[in-house]
Amino acid sequence: MGKAPVEIRVGGIDDRAPHRNAGVHGDAGDPPVVAHLMCMKLFTIGYEGATQAEVIARLKTAGVETLVDVRAVAASRRAGFSKTILGESLKAEGIDYLHLRGLGTPKAGRDAARKGRVAEMRAIFADHLAKPQAQMEYERLKALAGEKRVALLCFEADHAGCHRAVLAERLAAEDGVMVVNL
């Protein structure tokens, strides 16, 4: 779309600008969803070092409607971050939960990230994204991001060392969404 992605890193935001802005239009001939995505924000969040209550509070402050869990394994030793309990806790706070396992990084990518080998993790994840399940789930994520305020969840506090940054960068490059790292 030619629009450069913008990245903002915040600890909490109070930006409730409507993401369904009927007055925003793309270039002539752009489908309505393109114009819509060009004004969209995509949030990312990691729960490393945070409590479940802190994560949910940041999501609510940002006005997130759906948390998309992009962990390959949606289990955690950290209290409150395993799939079932996290989903139930989010629902109680008015936030939908969706686990897209196919958008999780393979074990080799997780191992590389843990060792600080971010370039290796990105290469492994790029290969993974070429697989049919990952492509299908990426399209599902893309469609959902066009309809709701979405946040991508993974473990790492620093998005730069996490595969969720790759997903966010791809959506920004393809659709001009603005990425906000909570």
Distance in angstroms (rounded) separating the CA atoms of residues 116 and 111: 9
What pLDDT, on a 0 to 100 scale, did the predictor assign at position 175? 85
Residue with tokens 């890193």: 9
Break the chain into its structural domains and give their ranges. Answer: 43-181
- Residue 44 neighbours by CB distance under 10 Å: 24
d(CA 135, CA 118): 22
Q: Under CATH, which number does the domain 43-181 receive?
A: 3.90.190
The pLDDT of residue 64 is: 97
pLDDT for the residue numbered 80:
93
Q: What is the DSSP string of 80-137?
A: T-SHHHHHHHHHHTT-EEEE-GGGSPPHHHHHHHHTT-HHHHHHHHHHHHTSHHHHHH
pLDDT by position in tens, the chain (length 182): 444 444 444 344 334 333 433 333 334 444 444 444 445 899 999 999 999 999 999 999 999 999 999 999 988 988 899 999 999 999 999 999 999 999 999 999 999 999 999 999 999 999 999 999 999 999 999 999 999 999 999 999 999 889 999 999 999 999 888 999 99
Beta bridge partners of 150: 42, 66
The pLDDT of residue 25 = 34
